[in-house]
Structure 1
Amino acid sequence: MLAPPPEGTFDMEEVNLPIKNAPKDSLPEQVPLLNLEAAPIESNESKKGKVTQILIFLYENLKLKQILQPAIIASILAMVIGAVPVLKHLIFTTDAPLFFFTDSCIILGEAMIPCILLALGGNLIDGPGSSKLGFRTTAAIIFGRLVLVPPMGLGIVTLADKLGFLPPGDMMFKFVLLLQHTMPTSVLSGAVANLRGCGREAAAVLFWVHIFAVFSMAAWIVLYLNLLF
């Protein structure tokens, strides 16, 4: 037979051994309903979600997708880069390390106007009268651009001159500002309209605007020369 150990007998005292099921009398562990540490994180996430929803709402209702065309985005980027001296000396100057990018853009820009004119000519394959705008709409656009806009430009330049925003005595600078309001619509607007699927209508309007601008520009230039010189 086996002898008992020297420390004592085989009889072991009851110890608190781990049991699977908790006794009925013991209370369950109380867990707080709100986790105080996670509250700031959830609030920050909710704020970010609200800001995202507001931005999406503005983007959809203001139709920024139609406004932010490639030409406008490129112009905004050029102004931002030109306004920051570090980026300007990094990209635009002749000795800049990234001047090759500017040089490539200049080469592409030289071919841009002929390509746009080809695209506009392709939209006029059926003639300038093939657009769906109608005679009244086209005439109103031409009248507003060539007859109404130049007097507004004349008023703006005159007001700026009286307020002292223009260099005094520089008549050529004023003449260029006035001439800018007299010029017909740029062909870039036709390229932007072509991206929106309205290339034929824009091409027809640009065609007639440039035709009638020959006469309107001559009249406005004579008026500007008499006022300034």
Structure 2
Amino acid sequence: MGFLNIFIVALMPVLKVILMTGIGFFIALDRIKLLGPEANHHLNNIVFYVLSPAIAASSLAESITFQSFITLWFMPLNILLTFVFGSILAWLLIKITKTPKHFRGIVIGCCSAGNLGNLPLIMVPAVCEEPNNPFGDPSVCSLLARPYASLSLAMGGILIWSYVFGMMRLYTNEGTENETPSETVAVSSTELAVLPSTNAHTISMHPTPSDAKIIKMSAWKKIMQQMKIISKKVDLKKVFAPTAVAAIVGFIIGIVSPIRKLMIGNRAPLRVIDSTAYMFGEAAIPCMTLIMGANLLRGLKGSEVSRSVIIGIIAVRSILLPALGIGVVMAARNWGLIASENKLYQFVLMLQFAVPPAMAVGTMTQFFQLGQCETSVIMLWTYVVAALSLTLWSTFFMWILA
């Protein structure tokens, strides 16, 4: 295939996303008021609690079997690597830009968590539907596209609502509270109280067996106190968010053969449950994309986020991570971790590094009531740039794979 033909194939799904986002943007305008702040909030809750879990559960239950999961084992590791590399680059960005403490969680979230849900679910099947796609017969390609995109959605949702949510919550609390110093002082005074006849110099220079035991106990107390602090800050109800729980349920249904036979298939006794979840799931992608467009409108109103932070996040998500993704996938192929002949699978793995930040980061800021305007500005500019960068990277991915 020529480079221009591949570019057109890559452009089509991105245009679909742009059009759907544009509609969400338009109906959120003050003159239209179909998706104003209150309506957006309610629709966001419906997506969070109903539609997104439905698409995660139904897609995985129908698409993933035990054999296919064994075949696709590298994808969860690949997604984990996108979070790891994104977090490392976020730390560097925070140090360079001297980001305020309360805003660091948002920077880490935007750099580490990509839109692994609705974008792959739209883009990968759309690429397969193009007659000139480099992945072979459109019908066969489309059959493979759904499990790839579904697994991406599920694994991304689990990591976003566990790792990213936990990080954002920790940094939000760190910016508003100052618990650690006082607790550290309390621990130190307790340690001194149990050593009335000794001092720090004596213990360090001439330790006795009883002194060593006391030091071990005090160190253990410090560890336990830190664990208590972290457990107070991490909300397990949010870590096990509806989408993450639904993904786990979908895995179990798809992989466990007896349960699968009960619920999946035209002759399954409980197929009505799966078909109902599938109907709800079909509404998830349009609604998520409409919300994305409405949230981008807030970014036009501006915020106090610095340009250096915005440019840094764009560079991480649109330049550095996609380049790293090529290296990861190529290395995995050379080491025999993924099948060299499965080009569509490799394309999806690379795409996971190139997508813009997850819109769930904006949802999390609504939970915390902190940094909503800043996140909207970041999302606005990253998605504007992604319209071009995602097309170019997708074209390049398909070109090197073809």
TM more than 0.5: yes
Alignment CA distance shift 1:99-1:219 (3 Å) = same
Aligned pair partner of 2:378 in 201, 205, 215: 205
- Please report how far the alpha carbon of residue 59 of structure 1 lies from its aligned counterpart in structure 2 after TM superposition: 4.5
The corresponding residue for 2:63 is none
Matched, 1:218 2:378: no
Greater percentage in helix: 2
Give, as a single letter, the amino acid of the residue that structure 2 aligns with 1:89. K
The CA distance in 2 between the partners of 1:201 and 1:101, in whole Å, is 40
Give, as a single letter, the amino acid of the residue that structure 2 aligns with 1:206. M
Alignment CA distance shift 1:122-1:225 (3 Å) = closer
Give, as a single letter, the amino acid of the residue that structure 2 aligns with 1:99. R
Give, as a single letter, the amino acid of the residue that structure 1 aligns with 2:330. T
CA contact (8 A) 2:299 2:379 kept: no
The corresponding residue for 2:250 is 78
Alignment CA distance shift 1:124-1:164 (3 Å) = closer
- TM-score (normalizing by structure 2): 0.38
Alignment CA distance shift 1:219-1:117 (3 Å) = closer
Worse-matched range after superposition: 137-146 or 122-131: 122-131
CA contact (8 A) 2:304 2:374 kept: yes
The CA distance in 1 between the partners of 2:261 and 2:376, in whole Å, is 39
Give, as a single letter, the amino acid of the residue that structure 1 aligns with 2:279. I
SS in 1 for 2:268: coil
CA contact (8 A) 2:263 2:269 kept: yes
- Please report how far the alpha carbon of residue 211 of structure 1 lies from its aligned counterpart in structure 2 after TM superposition: 1.0
* Uncovered stretches (5+) of structure 1, i.e. residues with no partner: 1-52
The CA distance in 2 between the partners of 1:59 and 1:207, in whole Å, is 34
Matched, 1:140 2:312: yes
- Please report how far the alpha carbon of residue 76 of structure 1 lies from its aligned counterpart in structure 2 after TM superposition: 2.2
The CA distance in 2 between the partners of 1:200 and 1:114, in whole Å, is 23
Aligned pair partner of 2:346 in 169, 174, 179: 174
- Please report how far the alpha carbon of residue 123 of structure 1 lies from its aligned counterpart in structure 2 after TM superposition: 3.8
The CA distance in 2 between the partners of 1:78 and 1:196, in whole Å, is 29
CA contact (8 A) 1:123 1:200 kept: no
CA contact (8 A) 1:184 1:213 kept: yes
- TM-score (normalizing by structure 1): 0.61
Q: After TM superposition, list the pairs within 5 Å mapping 1:1-229 onto structure 2.
A: 57=228, 59-60=231-232, 62-191=234-363, 193-197=365-369, 200-229=373-402
The corresponding residue for 2:70 is none
The CA distance in 1 between the partners of 2:326 and 2:387, in whole Å, is 19
Q: After superposition, what is the alpha-carbon deviation per residue over 1:131-174, rounded to whole angstroms, capped at 9, x for unaligned?
A: 45443332222221111211221122112111212223333432
Give, as a single letter, the amino acid of the residue that structure 1 aligns with 2:381. W
The CA distance in 2 between the partners of 1:62 and 1:68, in whole Å, is 11
* Uncovered stretches (5+) of structure 2, i.e. residues with no partner: 1-223
When the two structures are aligned, how many residues end up with a matched partner?
Answer: 176
Alignment CA distance shift 1:228-1:143 (3 Å) = same
> Quick one: percent identity of the two aligned structures?
27
- Please report how far the alpha carbon of residue 91 of structure 1 lies from its aligned counterpart in structure 2 after TM superposition: 2.3
The CA distance in 2 between the partners of 1:103 and 1:194, in whole Å, is 32
The CA distance in 2 between the partners of 1:162 and 1:106, in whole Å, is 38
Give, as a single letter, the amino acid of the residue that structure 2 aligns with 1:64. L
The corresponding residue for 1:40 is none
CA contact (8 A) 2:318 2:354 kept: yes
Give, as a single letter, the amino acid of the residue that structure 1 aligns with 2:251. M
Alignment CA distance shift 1:87-1:96 (3 Å) = same
Give, as a single letter, the amino acid of the residue that structure 1 aligns with 2:327. G
CA contact (8 A) 2:297 2:380 kept: no
The CA distance in 2 between the partners of 1:196 and 1:100, in whole Å, is 37
Higher relative contact order (CA 8 A, sep 6+): 2
Give, as a single letter, the amino acid of the residue that structure 2 aligns with 1:77. V
CA contact (8 A) 1:90 1:96 kept: yes
The CA distance in 1 between the partners of 2:315 and 2:345, in whole Å, is 26
The CA distance in 2 between the partners of 1:203 and 1:113, in whole Å, is 20
The CA distance in 2 between the partners of 1:116 and 1:76, in whole Å, is 21
The CA distance in 2 between the partners of 1:119 and 1:178, in whole Å, is 26
- Please report how far the alpha carbon of residue 98 of structure 1 lies from its aligned counterpart in structure 2 after TM superposition: 2.3
- Please report how far the alpha carbon of residue 212 of structure 1 lies from its aligned counterpart in structure 2 after TM superposition: 0.4
Give, as a single letter, the amino acid of the residue that structure 2 aligns with 1:153. G
